[in-house]
Structure 1
Amino acid sequence: MTIEEVAKRAKVSIATVSRTLHNSGAVSPATAARVRRAMEELDYRPNTNAQSLVSGRSRMLGLVVSDITNPFFPELIRGFQDVALQYGYDVLVSSTNYDNTRTTLCVRRMMDRKVDGVAIMTSEMDRSLTDQLASRKVPLVFLDVGKVGKGVSNVKVDYAQGIAQAVDHLRALGHNRIAFISGPSNLKSARVRREAFLKCLSGRGIAEHSELMEEGNHKIDGGLSAITRLLQRQNPPTAVLASNDLTAIGTLRGIRQVGLRVPEDVSVIGFDDIDMAQYTEPPLTTIRLLRSELASLACNALFQSISGNVRGAEFTMGTHLILRESTGKAKTTRRVVIIPSSGTGL
């Protein structure tokens, strides 16, 4: 199949097909979709090496995530790749394991591979690296890094909205002693969620209890350890808000291990709505952050920069409360349980 046949099938000029392939020039979304549909119907496969030589582009994007083993990220990666493929691009993926040094190395290696743009979907960025990358001419999209250099796009998550949705839901059920299990304090995203929780309490006139604040590690074992400590308090919480779903899953297990029930004795809310949240016992009430939408925003922002149409835009992602079975009305009386102070192994 040839480009001429694609143009004929799509009822456009050869130049329009070329502009669509190279993501350059003014092609309306409807026309571009018609061209790509014609390519699919004709099984047209452009010569990517030739395209790169002509356009000066590698037709590759870089995607940096924090932890590829965290169930939050596979859907984000899949959504990002889906959009990239629509534009005829491949994606290089790197996982940093929440390590700043590794983040720097990953991004620089992607630059060495001459990627056409990089989406850095981790908030654990060294400020000097952020400034350095912003001074380069490669299109960049960051996740929640705050103010960045001119021409750099930023995708923000409205964590305050999500935390408020969770707290308001628990208050409506009669809960006043609400514990919060955060992520590691060295992670910006964890600090932002913790600060949003404290601000939410203050704004609603709810007393802050330092003994109800615990630090986790964004993993199941961290949630298990944190809830074990919380339940040992003289006046333990009636509800727990976890900073992510993996932490909440560990919390569910820790509550069961001491003979308490969810939600009859303790209510639990997670954050992210990963796929397994609906399959926990009981199914987890959580704050949904649409990874597919986040991925689409980031990828499309890169292509807007690559095409020269828009560069330096800011996007904000909203959240949604997903009600399942891990939250219920607060009890007026509490069951007394004795928890060993020794290990909490899985």
Structure 2
Amino acid sequence: MAKIKLIDVANLAGVSKSTASQYLNGRFEYMSQHTKDRIAEAVKELDYVPNPIARSLKSDKTKTIGVIVRDITGFDTSRVLRGIDDFCKNGEYNVIIYNTDFDPEVEARSIRALYQLRVDGIIISSSGNNQHLLQDYSENGLPIVEFQLEHDDSNKNIIISDYKQAAFDATEYLIQLGHKHICFLTQNFENVKSRNERYQGFISALAKHNIPLHKNLIQYWHRETGFQNSIKDMLRSPPAPTAIFTQHLAITTDLLTQLNQEGISIPEDISLLGFDDIPMAEFFKVPITVVKQEPYKIGSEAAKLLLAHIHNKTLANKKILVPCSVVKRQSCKLSA
């Protein structure tokens, strides 16, 4: 079946191609109702669909943005995406989503693909491995907003949680319960500014209450290999922790599995506080105390900032911190 073109619509309606184009672009105030009806009937009869790429070449806008995430199934990520999509719908923008599965090469291909599709802008949870590519496209006029992770102090548009303050508040809550030996369970944070901000909040709370930092209480988890040390070794290493503060939902869920397998009870044997809320936590035998982020707000703010830069490319780059809250549940108890 031959592809229907704008000229076919114009010919069937008995109008010029220019008139048909102006009707499809909403510029028909001067047209008679009879002319508008003829064009509408022609569009319907031919089942004509405008070519968005061809239209963008003339208007320099596709009314489409790209979003790149690391794990589309993530609980917080899904809420971020909803915030982005809701805001974009109100602005009559379409959203194209790419999922990278934490693979920097897939991320690079996704960035290039969206650029080639002529999206008006990109929102990305960056791995930090393709900053040069993002910088090149940004300097070439493509608005870009990052979220979730901050990798350096470079000047860019970014929306993130206030990780440092959140970690400080969570640690201080544990200290107020009497915990002095708190295990900080994290991914490697040396080259990721956002993870390091959580660590800085943690040690700031310890310093405020004159609690020494014990290196044995800094423990690591890797997405591919799991915990660096076994759970039993973590709990036996001097000084033995009375509470664990996990820094990611995946770490918390993995830890809960390990504790259950080892027969270690929460909060009788160990108190637990996790970063990121857990889906349906209220149905757990022991609901987990968490640092709750605001992913929907992060998504809507990211979309708002991106669209602002799409409409005005002279705007200065902006960093927005979104506050978190500590949701207190039954997984933390007073320490003797």
Shorter chain as normaliser: what TM range? 0.7 to 0.9
Q: Distance in 2 between matches of 1:89 and 1:224?
A: 44
Q: Distance in 1 between matches of 2:298 and 2:179?
A: 32
2:202 counterpart residue number: 197
Q: Is structure 2 residue 328 aligned with structure 1 residue 326?
A: no
For residues 136-147 of structure 1, the aligned pairs below 5 Å read: 136-143=140-147, 144-147=150-153
Structure with max Cα Rg: 2
Paired residue for 1:74, among 48, 61, 78? 78
Q: Alignment partner of 1:275: what SS?
A: coil
CA drift of 1:48 comes to 7.7
Q: Is structure 2 residue 131 aligned with structure 1 residue 161?
A: no
Q: Distance in 2 between matches of 1:55 and 1:216?
A: 49
CA drift of 1:317 comes to 1.0
Cα deviation, 1:297-346, whole Å, max 9, x if unaligned, reads 1000011111118452221111111111111111x3xxxxxxxxxxxxxx
Q: Distance in 1 between matches of 2:200 and 2:306?
A: 30
Distance 1:277 1:245, change over 3 A: farther
Q: Which consecutive residues of structure 1, in runs of 5 or more, have no partner in the other structure? A: 1-16, 20-45, 333-346
**Is the Cα–Cα contact under 8 Å of residues 289 and 332 in structure 2 kept in the other structure?**
yes
Q: Distance in 2 between matches of 1:161 and 1:259?
A: 33
1:30 counterpart residue number: none
Distance 1:119 1:274, change over 3 A: farther
Q: Is structure 2 residue 231 aligned with structure 1 residue 259?
A: no
Q: Distance in 2 between matches of 1:268 and 1:47?
A: 55
Paired residue for 2:247, among 226, 233, 243? 243
2:120 counterpart residue number: 116
Distance 1:96 1:190, change over 3 A: farther
CA drift of 1:18 comes to 6.6
Q: Alignment partner of 2:264: what SS?
A: coil
Cα deviation, 1:214-249, whole Å, max 9, x if unaligned, reads 111358x83696534312324421000000122122
**Is the Cα–Cα contact under 8 Å of residues 183 and 191 in structure 1 kept in the other structure?**
no
Q: Which consecutive residues of structure 2, in runs of 5 or more, have no partner in the other structure? A: 1-24, 28-48
Paired residue for 2:292, among 288, 295, 309? 288
Cα deviation, 1:68-94, whole Å, max 9, x if unaligned, reads 233321121122112112222221112
What code does the residue aligned with 1:262 have? I
CA drift of 1:197 comes to 2.2
Q: Distance in 1 between matches of 2:137 and 2:101?
A: 20
CA RMSD of aligned residues (A): 2.8
**Is the Cα–Cα contact under 8 Å of residues 185 and 245 in structure 2 kept in the other structure?**
yes
Paired residue for 2:92, among 63, 84, 88? 88
**Is the Cα–Cα contact under 8 Å of residues 226 and 251 in structure 1 kept in the other structure?**
no
Cα deviation, 1:144-192, whole Å, max 9, x if unaligned, reads 344445xx42223211111011111101111000001102447614343
TM-score, length-normalised on structure 2?
A: 0.75
Percent identity between the aligned chains? Answer: 25
2:221 counterpart residue number: 216
Q: Distance in 2 between matches of 1:295 and 1:64?
A: 12
